[in-house]
């Protein structure tokens, strides 16, 4: 029987559980939303963390998905292994089925067995299972799970084993949800053992000899771990399972390496085609092929989720992985850009299940191309420099590369430390890692001093998490945390749930103090999808007829942990206290300004696509009250005409006064209908789709959680105020609407009025008047030039009277007025024309600096005179130097006071030259 393809296996996993009442949930983005503790989504449970913590709910209790996962940093740093073995990846998929307080161990074990043996046909005798038994004998042995393995499956009883905390007890963190797990292992047979030659070796599960592979982990979440060490049974028990897709597929397809599955082979073949290797050569260079295949997948998915190559955080990882692949490509002999071709294959293979790759195809490919081009410009120099560095270190009898030099390689030549480490290890060198980190830290300190952003520290985050759990336990906040509805009212009556400063509960505070207020429901918008947070006031609700006794001015809203919204601001009067009735009101005018800019951003994106083409993709956005900023992909700057057309189209859409309406839809349906998905938005099971224009023929439809005007006419008008380039292939437009547009136009009109007033004409005649002035100016300049010429000519005629012969040679040495050195030279020509033979030295002072020109006719040069010698000698007297040819030379200097004396010496220097010959 032909093995199933990767796509078929993935689909059959989803279908199997869908048939058993599970909702198929899309993979969350690789960029975790609202979880600042994570660099990348690194497990299937990330997107359900709030459910396990008891702070969030879903409209379903059973779910199944395949989750995009990246593991390159922190404790899951597999990068060094990637490519060198057959199982490690930076990017991979994690298949999982989930129960939120619904089914439990019995079903989880039975279904896993059914899927593996009946659906996928794995040999029953090769499956082993482990269940939890505490080696410290403190926690309960999971006899339930063992019992279900024996009653629900046909597994050979001796193949159900006990294992301890390291393998079979799962914890999300030091505190919080946890529980035992049951791992499923597959026996690849004795020949897969790499320790066959070790005397006394015994193959066993968890024995690390390659024979047994863990393929699926079923986690039974049943306790809540308290800080004091107490394990409290949870009222709702959950199932969280995870199966590494690539590893599972290798077993189902009967190959001994993940890279030999059909998830990777097409990528390796594509590279092989470009390199021109035969199969043996591919084997020989397998590490490079694996690295390129793995990294191409990672980079494609990262950029697809909006992570652009950069110098910090996620951006750095994206850049580093792409560059690492390029360096391995160079090892294979690829010197031209090649990564876009590999990425194209990734999109072809994976786009079916991950539509974001298809939707952002051209953006992904362009971004890769630009970064690869940039790196190729410095790669060779960087590698040469690294070679030289290794030679130097070896010469000094050492094997460790200094950390500051390794940092220099990155800082100057863009060679990430991961690449330097790869190369160093190949040549048996090591890196001074501590020194490198120090150099990096030093640079970061400088960057911070320059005002860069600093992430909230972990301790503070833990405090906020504690506040949230406490409020939920006491029933002050519901499962979702603070209820947010920024769409309906701009003011709500509520009560104070918590009064905080940096996460600490505060009682004593007064006017002027900073405060973070928590209220159970809010109409404030919290920054998301580029739209900035609302500002406003929160005021005590007074007894009738009395003044409110406290007021807080809110200048920002933040969400440090999912579900906890902080209204951050300053106490203006009184003392807000927990339990006080309060009214929270958003600044209406500012909110309207923001809404105008947000809706206009949607119109702008649509218009850009109409005018420039469908390759235009959003690359970033800021929606603020005073202006909007929109970054998008497009190779060239927009011409004036293109900008005018875009502006015109947006303003037409405003004048059409389209209706703006939002609706909730399942994510997949929305994407299938071609709704544009924007970066940085949170896509749950159902999404908010914003439509501008009539339902049957909308002007634009986009996923959006922002706040908008109700009709486009409210926007008033739209003006682009600037266009710039912010990276290869990415343009930025800034624009204003509404009051901002009125101010902008007023300011411009005022400028025109003022200039017209200064010129004494009505504004309508301004252009004509400026043209006229320009002509007058040109004429005046011409006249000045003519006058200068005439004055110079007169001076020349005067000087002819002063000619002094020196040894029969006519000599002129004089100070004249001249606008530049060219004019000086021209004047010496006049002497030469008139006198035919002689030495002419002219000097002038221009802008405070002296200059000299000496001209000697050829017959006098024959007699031993030399213009260069003359200007050098005179140049010293004006604090400078000069040069040229024997017939014509010039000098400049800094000492204008020396000029007259220098000129007076010209005759004597000439005399010395004539005598000396
Ligand atoms: Zn073994
Ligand atoms: Zn939007």
369 sits in which H/E element: helix 361-395
231-244 and 91-100 beta bridge pairing: antiparallel
State in Å: Cα 867 to ligand 1 middle: 93
Which ligand is located closest to the Cα atom of residue 675? 2
State in Å: Cα 182 to ligand 1 middle: 22
> pLDDT tens digit string along 581-605?
999 999 999 999 999 999 999 999 9
Q: CA dist 566 to 272, 364, 557, Å?
A: 54, 36, 6
> pLDDT tens digit string along 828-886?
888 888 888 899 999 999 888 999 999 999 999 999 999 999 999 999 999 888 888 99
Helical pair 313-331 and 286-304, crossing angle rounded to 10 deg: 150
Which ligand is located closest to the Cα atom of residue 660? 2
Which ligand is located closest to the Cα atom of residue 601? 2
State in Å: Cα 198 to ligand 1 middle: 9
Average pLDDT over residues 299-312: 85
In this predicted structure, the answer to whether residue 683 has a pLDDT above a threshold of 60 is no
Can you give the pLDDT at residue 461? 67
Can you give the pLDDT at residue 454? 37
Which ligand is located closest to the Cα atom of residue 192? 1
Percent of the chain with pLDDT over 70: 95
Coil, strand, or helix at residue 874? helix
State in Å: Cα 116 to ligand 1 middle: 23
Rounded distance, CA 665 to CA 662, Å?
Answer: 10
Which ligand is located closest to the Cα atom of residue 678? 2
Sign of the C-alpha dihedral computed for residues 414, 419, 420 and 423 taken in this order: negative
In this predicted structure, the answer to whether residue 403 has a pLDDT above a threshold of 80 is yes
Rounded distance, CA 538 to CA 60, Å?
Answer: 36
Contacts of 518 (CB under 8 A, 6+ apart): 467, 471, 477, 482, 496, 497, 498, 499, 500, 564, 565, 566, 567
State in Å: Cα 629 to ligand 2 middle: 12
Can you give the pLDDT at residue 678? 47
Which ligand is located closest to the Cα atom of residue 688? 2
> pLDDT tens digit string along 812-844?
999 988 888 888 898 888 888 888 889 999 999
Can you give the pLDDT at residue 840? 92
State in Å: Cα 564 to ligand 1 middle: 51
Which ligand is located closest to the Cα atom of residue 189? 1
Rounded distance, CA 68 to CA 40, Å?
Answer: 10
In this predicted structure, the answer to whether residue 479 has a pLDDT above a threshold of 80 is no
In this predicted structure, the answer to whether residue 671 has a pLDDT above a threshold of 70 is no
In this predicted structure, the answer to whether residue 806 has a pLDDT above a threshold of 60 is yes
| pTM score | 0.55
State in Å: Cα 701 to ligand 2 middle: 10
State in Å: Cα 471 to ligand 2 middle: 32
State in Å: Cα 77 to ligand 1 middle: 26
Q: CA dist 895 to 561, 754, 843, 898, 901, Å?
A: 70, 45, 12, 6, 11
pLDDT bracket for residue 456 (50, 70, 90): very low
Name the β-bridge partners of 504.
Answer: 501
Question: Taking the mean position of all CA atoms in its chain, how far away is CA 912?
Answer: 72
Beta strands in 37-90 (DSSP E): 62-70
Backbone angles phi, psi at 546, to 5 degrees: -105, 165
pLDDT bracket for residue 77 (50, 70, 90): low
Please name which of 85, 293, 105, 116 lies closest in space to residue 208, comparing C-alpha atoms: 85
> pLDDT tens digit string along 736-790?
999 999 999 999 999 999 999 999 999 899 999 999 999 999 999 999 888 888 8
Name the β-bridge partners of 493.
Answer: 583
**Considering the chain, what is the average pLDDT of its residues?**
88
Can you give the pLDDT at residue 31? 85
840-844-845 Cα angle (round to 5): 165
Can you give the pLDDT at residue 693? 93
Average pLDDT over residues 431-460: 66
pLDDT bracket for residue 369 (50, 70, 90): confident
State in Å: Cα 209 to ligand 1 middle: 5
Which ligand is located closest to the Cα atom of residue 195? 1
Rounded distance, CA 673 to CA 692, Å?
Answer: 15
In this predicted structure, the answer to whether residue 691 has a pLDDT above a threshold of 80 is yes
Please name which of 348, 341, 314 lies closest in space to residue 91, comparing C-alpha atoms: 314
Please name which of 482, 479, 486 lies closest in space to residue 704, comparing C-alpha atoms: 486
Please name which of 198, 23, 15, 196 lies closest in space to residue 114, comparing C-alpha atoms: 15
Sign of the C-alpha dihedral computed for residues 383, 386, 390 and 392 taken in this order: positive
State in Å: Cα 125 to ligand 1 middle: 17
> pLDDT tens digit string along 536-579?
999 999 877 788 889 999 999 988 777 889 999 999 999 999 99
Contact 70, 42 (CB under 8 A): yes
Can you give the pLDDT at residue 679? 41
Residue 786: both structure tokens together: 């003519």
Q: Which one is predicted more confidently, 4 or 311?
A: 4
Which ligand is located closest to the Cα atom of residue 525? 2
Contact 64, 272 (CB under 8 A): no
Please name which of 244, 126, 129 lies closest in space to residue 190, comparing C-alpha atoms: 126
State in Å: Cα 679 to ligand 2 middle: 10
692-694-700 Cα angle (round to 5): 30
State in Å: Cα 360 to ligand 2 middle: 17
Contact 718, 654 (CB under 8 A): yes
In this predicted structure, the answer to whether residue 676 has a pLDDT above a threshold of 60 is no
Contact 515, 566 (CB under 8 A): no
State in Å: Cα 664 to ligand 2 middle: 14
Name the β-bridge partners of 238.
Answer: 100, 221
In this predicted structure, the answer to whether residue 798 has a pLDDT above a threshold of 50 is yes
In this predicted structure, the answer to whether residue 728 has a pLDDT above a threshold of 80 is no
State in Å: Cα 212 to ligand 1 middle: 8
Rounded distance, CA 905 to CA 371, Å?
Answer: 64
State in Å: Cα 60 to ligand 2 middle: 27
State in Å: Cα 603 to ligand 2 middle: 10
State in Å: Cα 602 to ligand 2 middle: 6
Helical pair 313-331 and 417-426, crossing angle rounded to 10 deg: 30
> pLDDT tens digit string along 34-54?
666 678 888 898 888 888 887
In this predicted structure, the answer to whether residue 484 has a pLDDT above a threshold of 80 is yes
State in Å: Cα 188 to ligand 1 middle: 10
Can you give the pLDDT at residue 880? 86
In this predicted structure, the answer to whether residue 345 has a pLDDT above a threshold of 90 is yes
């Amino acid at each position: 029987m032909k093995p199933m393809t990767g796509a078929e296996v993935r689909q059959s996993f989803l279908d199997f559980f869908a048939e058993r009442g599970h909702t198929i949930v899309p993979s969350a983005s690789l960029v975790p939303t609202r979880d600042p503790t994570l660099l990348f989504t690194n497990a299937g449970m990330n997107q359900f963390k709030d459910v396990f913590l008891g702070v969030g709910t879903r409209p379903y209790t059973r779910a199944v998905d395949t989750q995009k996962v990246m593991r390159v940093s922190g404790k899951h740093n597999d990068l060094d292994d990637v490519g060198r073995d057959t199982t490690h990846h930076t990017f991979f998929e994690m298949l999982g089925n989930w129960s939120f307080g619904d089914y439990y161990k019995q079903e989880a074990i039975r279904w896993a067995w059914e899927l593996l043996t009946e659906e996928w046909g794995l040999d029953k005798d090769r499956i082993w299972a482990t269940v939890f038994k505490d080696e410290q004998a403190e926690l309960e042995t999971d006899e339930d799970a063992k019992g279900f393995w024996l009653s629900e499956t046909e597994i050979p009883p001796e193949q159900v084993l006990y294992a301890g905390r390291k393998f079979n007890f799962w914890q999300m963190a030091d505190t919080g949800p946890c529980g035992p797990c049951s791992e499923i292992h597959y026996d690849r047979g004795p020949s897969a053992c790499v320790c066959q030659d070790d005397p006394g070796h015994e193959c066993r599960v968890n024995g690390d000899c390659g024979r047994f592979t863990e393929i699926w982990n079923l986690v039974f979440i049943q306790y809540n771990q308290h800080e004091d060490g107490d394990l409290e049974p949870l009222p709702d028990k959950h199932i969280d399972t995870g199966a590494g897709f690539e590893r599972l597929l290798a077993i189902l397809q009967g190959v001994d390496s993940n890279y030999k599955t059909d998830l990777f082979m097409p990528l390796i073949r594509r590279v092989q085609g470009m390199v021109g290797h035969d199969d043996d050569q591919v084997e020989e260079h397998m590490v490079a092929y694996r690295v390129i295949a793995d990294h191409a997948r990672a980079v494609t998915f990262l950029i697809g989720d909006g992570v652009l190559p950069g110098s910090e955080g996620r951006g750095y990882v994206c850049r580093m992985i792409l560059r690492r692949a390029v360096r391995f490509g160079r090892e294979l002999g690829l010197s031209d850009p090649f990564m876009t071709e590999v990425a194209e294959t990734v999109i072809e293979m994976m786009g079916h299940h991950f539509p974001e790759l298809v939707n952002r195809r051209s953006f992904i490919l362009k971004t890769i191309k630009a970064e690869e081009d940039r790196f190729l410009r410095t790669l060779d120099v960087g590698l040469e420099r690294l070679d030289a560095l290794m030679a130097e270190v070896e010469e000094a009898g050492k094997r460790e590369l200094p950390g500051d030099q390794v940092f220099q390689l990155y800082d100057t030549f863009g060679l990430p430390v991961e690449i330097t480490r790869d190369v160093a290890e190949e040549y048996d060198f090591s890196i001074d890692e501590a020194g490198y980190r120090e150099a990096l830290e030093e640079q970061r300190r400088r960057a911070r001093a320059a005002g860069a952003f600093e992430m909230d520290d972990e301790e503070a985050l833990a405090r906020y998490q504690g506040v949230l759990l406490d409020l939920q336990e006491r029933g002050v906040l519901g499962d979702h945390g603070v209820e947010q509805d920024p769409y309906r009212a701009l003011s709500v009556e509520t009560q104070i749930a918590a009064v905080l400063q940096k996460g600490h509960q505060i009682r004593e505070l007064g006017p002027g103090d900073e405060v973070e207020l928590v209220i159970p429901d809010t109409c404030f918008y919290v920054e998301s999808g580029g739209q900035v947070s609302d500002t406003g006031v929160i005021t005590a609700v007074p007894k009738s007829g009395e003044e409110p006794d406290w007021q807080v001015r809110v200048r920002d809203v933040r969400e440090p942990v999912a579900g906890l919204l902080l209204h951050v601001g300053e106490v203006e009067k009184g003392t807000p206290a927990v339990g006080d009735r309060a009214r929270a009101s958003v600044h209406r005018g500012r909110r309207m300004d923001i809404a105008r800019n947000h809706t206009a951003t949607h119109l702008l994106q649509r218009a850009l696509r109409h005018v420039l083409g469908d390759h235009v993709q959003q690359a970033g956005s800021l929606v603020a009250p005073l202006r909007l900023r929109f970054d998008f992909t497009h190779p060239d700057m927009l011409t004036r005409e293109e900008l005018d057309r875009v502006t015109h189209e947006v303003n037409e859409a405003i004048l059409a006064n389209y209706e703006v309406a939002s609706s909730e839809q399942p994510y997949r349906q929305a994407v299938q209908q071609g709704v544009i998905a924007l970066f940085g938005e949170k896509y749950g099971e159902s999404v908010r789709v914003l439509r501008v224009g009539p339902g049957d023929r909308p002007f634009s439809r986009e996923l959006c959680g922002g706040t908008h005007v109700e009709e486009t006419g409210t926007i008033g008008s739209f003006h682009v105020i600037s266009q710039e380039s912010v990276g290869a292939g990415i343009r930025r437009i800034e624009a204003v609407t509404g009051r901002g547009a009125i101010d902008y136009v007023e300011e411009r009109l005022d400028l025109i009025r003022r200039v017209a007033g200064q010129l004494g004409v009505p504004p309508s005649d301004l252009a004509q008047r400026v043209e006229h002035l320009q002509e007058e100016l040109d004429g005046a300049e011409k006249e000045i030039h003519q006058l200068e010429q005439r004055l110079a000519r007169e001076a020349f005629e005067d000087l002819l009277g002063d000619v002094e012969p020196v040894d029969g040679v006519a000599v002129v040495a004089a100070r004249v007025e001249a606008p530049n050195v060219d004019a000086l030279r021209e004047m010496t020509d006049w002497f030469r024309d008139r006198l035919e033979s002689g030495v002419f030295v002219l000097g002038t002072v221009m802008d405070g600096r002296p200059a000299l020109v000496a001209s000697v006719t050829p017959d006098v040069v024959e007699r031993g005179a030399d213009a260069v010698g003359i200007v050098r000698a005179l140049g010293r007297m004006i604090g400078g130097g000069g040069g040229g040819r024997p017939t014509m030379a010039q000098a400049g200097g800094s000492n204008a006071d020396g000029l007259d004396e220098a000129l007076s010496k010209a005759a004597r220097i000439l005399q010395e030259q004539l005598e000396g010959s």
